[in-house]
Amino acid sequence: MGGDIPENVKGVVEIDSWLTPFADVLSERRYLADEWKYNIEHTAGPQGKGTTLSQFARDAYKSFGLHADASTLEIRYKEWAPNAVAAFLIGEFNGWDENANEMQRDEYGVFNVVVPPTAGGEFGIPHDSKIKVCFELADGSRIYRLPAWITRATQPDKETAKQWGPSYEARFWNPSTHYSFKNKRPSFVRDTDSLRIYEAHVGISSSEPKVASYKEFTENVLPRIKYLGYDAIQLMAIMEHAYYASFGYQVTNFFAASSRFGTPEELKELIDTAHGMGILVLLDVVHSHASKNVTDGLNRFDGSDHQYFHSLTSARGEHPLWDSRLFNYGNFEVQRFLLANLAFYIDVYQFDGFRFDGVTSMLYLHHGIGEGGAFSGNYNEYLSKERSFVDHEALAYLMLANDLVRELLPENGITIAEDVSGYPTLCMPRHLGGAGFDYRLAMALPDMWIKLLKDSKDEDWKMGDIVHTLVNRRHREKVVSYAESHDQALVGDKTLAFWLMDAAMYTDMSIIKETTPIVDRGIALHKLIRLITHSLGGEAYLNFEGNEFGHPEWLDFPNKNNGDSYHYARRQFNLVDDPLLRYQQLNEFDKAMQTCEKNYKWLNTPQAYVSLKHEVDKVIAFERNGLLFIFNFHPTESFTDYRIGVNEPGCYRIILNSDKHEYGGWDRIDESKSNYFTTDLRWNERNNFIQVYIPNRSALVLALDSRPKETH
C-alpha cells in the first residue's frame, strides 16, 4: 500500500483502495474524534486525572439533573446554564417560591443545590411533584425552564393548560420502588448473528383510536413479535416530545421517556419482558436536532441561543426544513450531554443499542438538501477537501458515540445509521479508520419498490435494475434492508399493500368470496417484494409494524388538519386476528420468512451470487449461504422444468414456498414430490443445474437435503 497512508486509516484503505487519494482527509476526520476522546480520557475525570469514555458519560447522567440519596434523604440538583447569573429550584415542594432554593454557581456556569429532607424525615421533594428551574439573567429578568436532564415530563391537565398554556411539566420521579430487571440481555454476536428488526411505535400499537400504553404493548404486541420470529425491536418516539404528530422526532426532553405511554417503570417492564423472550430492544435516538420549544425544551434554555446549539446568527443554528435547532457537536458540554444520554438509556432502561435518526443531516452542512443532497457515489462528494461539505464535528461525535456503545455493550451493542448518502467508511470499525456503525439503512430500496408500483406495469419491470439496486452497497459495510418503513406509511404516501390493492383492501380481502385479480396480484407481489428484499438486499432486515400483514391504511397522527382524530394513528391488529380475512395469510408468510431465516440463515452472510436475471421470463435466481432463491415475477407465465444453475451438487428440497395456500397462494407445487437433483453440467456460470417448476408470481427457497437447520 505504500508508506504514504496514515496509520490511523490504513485499515479502511486496505479494504477499499479507491480511498487512497483521500486517506489524508479520512485521517484528519478520525484524528478529531480521537483527540476529543484523548482529552476526555486524560483530563475530564475527577481533578482532571482522566477517565474512560463510558465512565465520563455515566458520571454525567448520575451527577447532572435531580438525584435522591436514599441514605441521607437529600436531593441534589445540578444544571449547566452559563448565560444565567443566578438560579433557583422551584416547585410544588416549596410553594413555587422563587427565592427559597437558590443554587450555587461555579466559574463554568454550573449550578448546584441540595434540598434537605423534611422535618418529618421524608424527601424534601415529593415523588412525581411538579418542579421548574428559574434562571436570573444579567439584565435582572427571570426565565422558567424544565430541567434539561429531567427524567419525566407530562402533559398539563386541561385546567392548567387553559391557564398557563400547553407546555409540558417537569416532575421529580422518585418512586419508593423502582422496577427490578429480571432477564439478561439476549446475546448478539455482531459478526455472525442475524438481526430481524420489528420497528414499532408504542402509541399507535392498538386497534382502538387512542394512544396505546407501554403495558398494552407489553401484553398485546410483544407476543405478536415473538410469534413472527423477529429478534429485535426498534422503538420509536420514546424520547419525550411535546407534539405527538412529530412522530417523536421533535424531542423536547432527552432523558425523559414519553409519559403519554405510561411511566418509566412500565417502559422498563416492556424491555425486560422483551429480553425474556430473547428479543433485543433498540432505541430510535434523535441526536440530529431538537425541538424549537423554549418553555419545555432545550431551545434558549439559559436565555442564550447558543448554549447547546449553534447560534441562530449562523446558518448552522437551525434546520431549514425541519424547523428545529441543531446541536453544536464541537462543544464539550454538548458532547457530555449527548454521550450521557446514550449511557442513560443503556444503563437505566437496558436498551441494547440505537438507530441514529437523521445521520445524513448530521454529516453534511447542507443536510442532504438541494443540489448537495444529490449523491451520485463519487468519492469527491464526501471526501474532497475542495468540494466536501462534511460537518467534521458531527462526524467526530458519531465516532465517539459508537466508541461509547462498544465500551458499554462490548458483546451485543448495536448501532444503525439512518444515512441515505452512502458516506464511505460509515459502517467500518473505528480501529480501522471508519465511523464505527454496525449498519446503515438501505434507504434506496423502499424508494425503488414505490417507484416501480407507481410508474411501471409488471411486465415492464427490469430484473437487472431490481437486482442492481438490491445488491448495490459498499463492500464490508453492512446494511439493514427493508421494503417499507414508517416513512412509507405516513399520510401523503401509501404502504406497499395499498399501492398494490388500494380500495380492494376494503372490499375483497375476505376468504369467503373468490379472490379478485387485484387482490391475487397484490398478495403475491407483497410476498415476493418482501422476500427478495430480505434475502438479497442486506445483512439485516426491518419491518414496520402492521406492514407484515399488509396494513390497509396510512398513518396520520392527530392534528388540526384531521380534526385531532386518532382514526389513522393506530395499527388495526383486529384485521390479522380475523381468520376470515386474507391479512392473516400475509402474516403467516412473514412468520414463515422470519422462521426460515432463523433456521437456515442468510442475513449477515456474504452477498449473494446472482446467476440469473432473465428480462423476458422475469426470473431471478441467486445463491446465498448455500441456499438457492428463485423468483418468478412474470404476471402470467409459469415454467416447467426451468433450468437453474447452482454451485453445490446434491438433492435440493423446498424450505419456503410463497405459493402455499396458507400464505394466500394457489398450492401449485406438490412439495412432497419436489426433490431436485443436480445435473453435473455447468449452467449460468455455476457448476451444476437443477430443473424446477416455478409458477408465475411465486418464489422458492431451496436447501440441500443434507443441510441441517441452525441450532439455537
Q: Which of 216, 231, 240, 357 is catalytic?
A: 357
Residue 560 forms part of a structural domain: no
- Residues of the domain holding 165: 57-171
List the CATH number of the domain containing 119.
2.60.40.10
Residue 119 forms part of a structural domain: yes
State the pLDDT at residue 706. 87
State the pLDDT at residue 163. 75
Q: Percentage of the chain with pLDDT > 70?
A: 99
**SS3 label, residue 464:** helix
Residue 355 and residue 284 in contact, taking contact as beta carbons nearer than 8 Å = yes
- Is 97 a catalytic site residue? no
Enumerate the H helices of 409-456 as residue ranges. Answer: 444-455
Pick from 491, 396, 400, 488: which is nearest to 451 by CA? Answer: 488
Within this chain, do residues 82 and 161 fall inside the same structural domain, yes or no?
yes
Higher per-residue pLDDT: 48 or 695: 695
Higher per-residue pLDDT: 673 or 546: 546
Within this chain, do residues 110 and 43 fall inside the same structural domain, yes or no?
no
Within this chain, do residues 101 and 139 fall inside the same structural domain, yes or no?
yes
Per-residue pLDDT tens over the stretch 421-467 = 999 999 999 999 999 999 999 999 999 999 999 999 999 999 999 99
Within this chain, do residues 12 and 82 fall inside the same structural domain, yes or no?
no
Q: Does the structure show a pLDDT above 80 at 367?
A: yes
Written in H, E and C, the secondary structure of 226-276 is HHHCCCEEEEECCEECCCHHHCCCCCCEEEEECHHHCCHHHHHHHHHHHHH
State the pLDDT at residue 384. 85
Within this chain, do residues 67 and 157 fall inside the same structural domain, yes or no?
yes
Please state, in angstroms and rounded to a whole number, the distance separating the CA atoms of residues 366 and 374.
11
Within this chain, do residues 62 and 141 fall inside the same structural domain, yes or no?
yes
Residue burial 600-622, b: 16+ Cβ < 10 Å; e: rest: bbbbbeeebebbbbbeebbbbbb
Backbone angles phi, psi at 651, to 5 degrees: -100, 125
Per-residue pLDDT tens over the stretch 468-496 = 999 999 999 999 999 998 887 776 678 89
Per-residue pLDDT tens over the stretch 231-264 = 999 999 999 999 999 999 999 999 999 999 999 9
Residue 87 and residue 172 in contact, taking contact as beta carbons nearer than 8 Å = no
Q: Which three cell numbers stand for residue 534?
A: 430480505
Enumerate the H helices of 52-190 as residue ranges. Answer: 53-63, 158-164
Last residue within a domain, chosen from 141, 171, 201: 171
Q: Does the structure show a pLDDT above 90 at 707?
A: no
Please state, in angstroms and rounded to a whole number, the distance separating the CA atoms of residues 406 and 413.
6
Residue 2 exposed, middle or buried by CB count within 10 Å (0-12, 13-18, 19+): exposed
Q: Which of 381, 418, 419, 508 is catalytic?
A: 418
Per-residue pLDDT tens over the stretch 624-644 = 999 999 999 999 999 999 999
Q: Which three cell numbers stand for residue 473?
A: 452497497
SS3 content of the chain, % helix, strand, coil (to 5): 35, 20, 45
Per-residue pLDDT tens over the stretch 548-563 = 999 998 889 999 889 9
State the pLDDT at residue 683. 97
Q: Does the structure show a pLDDT above 50 at 333?
A: yes
What is the overall mean pLDDT for the chain? 95
Backbone angles phi, psi at 232, to 5 degrees: -155, 150
Within this chain, do residues 43 and 132 fall inside the same structural domain, yes or no?
no
Residue 625 and residue 601 in contact, taking contact as beta carbons nearer than 8 Å = yes
Please state, in angstroms and rounded to a whole number, the distance separating the CA atoms of residues 200 and 486.
9
The strand pairing partners of 110, in sequence order, are: 80
Q: Does the structure show a pLDDT above 90 at 385?
A: no
State the pLDDT at residue 387. 66
Residue 63 forms part of a structural domain: yes
Give me the mean pLDDT over the 492-502 stretch.
88
Please state, in angstroms and rounded to a whole number, the distance separating the CA atoms of residues 180 and 650.
53
Q: Which three cell numbers stand for residue 165?
A: 398554556
| Among the ranges given (164-168, 312-316, 586-590), the one the predictor scored with the smallest mean pLDDT | 164-168
Within this chain, do residues 156 and 89 fall inside the same structural domain, yes or no?
yes
Please state, in angstroms and rounded to a whole number, the distance separating the CA atoms of residues 445 and 450.
9
Within this chain, do residues 82 and 39 fall inside the same structural domain, yes or no?
no
Enumerate the H helices of 421-560 as residue ranges. Answer: 444-455, 463-471, 486-489, 496-501, 504-507, 517-536
Per-residue pLDDT tens over the stretch 34-55 = 999 999 999 887 877 889 999 9
- Is 418 a catalytic site residue? yes
Q: Which residue has the cell 428479543?
A: 279
- Spatial CB neighbours of 102, under 8 Å, sequence gap ≥ 6: 86, 87, 88, 113
- DSSP class of residue 491? B
Please state, in angstroms and rounded to a whole number, the distance separating the CA atoms of residues 697 and 32.
52
State the pLDDT at residue 304. 98
Last residue within a domain, chosen from 171, 198, 222: 171
Q: Does the structure show a pLDDT above 70 at 2?
A: no
Residue 144 forms part of a structural domain: yes
State the pLDDT at residue 3. 61
Long-range contacts of 563-566 (CB under 8 A, 24+ apart): 565/209, 566/209, 566/210, 566/211
Within this chain, do residues 43 and 87 fall inside the same structural domain, yes or no?
no
Backbone angles phi, psi at 394, to 5 degrees: -65, -40
Q: Which three cell numbers stand for residue 486?
A: 414508517
Higher per-residue pLDDT: 140 or 371: 140
Residue 676 forms part of a structural domain: no
In Å, what is the CA distance from 280 to each residue of 91, 233, 268, 289, 538?
A: 38, 6, 13, 26, 19
State the pLDDT at residue 455. 94
Please state, in angstroms and rounded to a whole number, the distance separating the CA atoms of residues 73 and 70.
5
Residue 231 and residue 275 in contact, taking contact as beta carbons nearer than 8 Å = no
Domain count for the chain = 2
Banded pLDDT at 165 (limits 50, 70, 90): confident
Please state, in angstroms and rounded to a whole number, the distance separating the CA atoms of residues 657 and 408.
42
State the pLDDT at residue 711. 55
* Strand blocks (E) in 227-314: 232-236, 239-240, 253-257, 280-285
Within this chain, do residues 39 and 93 fall inside the same structural domain, yes or no?
no
Pick from 682, 671, 675: which is nearest to 645 by CA? Answer: 682
Residue 667 forms part of a structural domain: no
Residue 27 and residue 383 in contact, taking contact as beta carbons nearer than 8 Å = no
Please state, in angstroms and rounded to a whole number, the distance separating the CA atoms of residues 207 and 567.
9
Counting every residue written for the chain, the total comes to: 712
Please state, in angstroms and rounded to a whole number, the distance separating the CA atoms of residues 584 and 638.
26
Sheet of 698-704: strand order equals: 609-614, 619-624, 627-632, 698-704, 651-657, 675-677
Last residue within a domain, chosen from 171, 204, 232: 171
State the pLDDT at residue 1. 41
Within this chain, do residues 44 and 61 fall inside the same structural domain, yes or no?
no
Residue 463 forms part of a structural domain: no
Residue 40 forms part of a structural domain: yes
State the pLDDT at residue 111. 98
Please state, in angstroms and rounded to a whole number, the distance separating the CA atoms of residues 4 and 6.
6
Residue 460 and residue 473 in contact, taking contact as beta carbons nearer than 8 Å = no
Whole-model pTM: value is: 0.97
Give me the mean pLDDT over the 128-135 stretch.
97
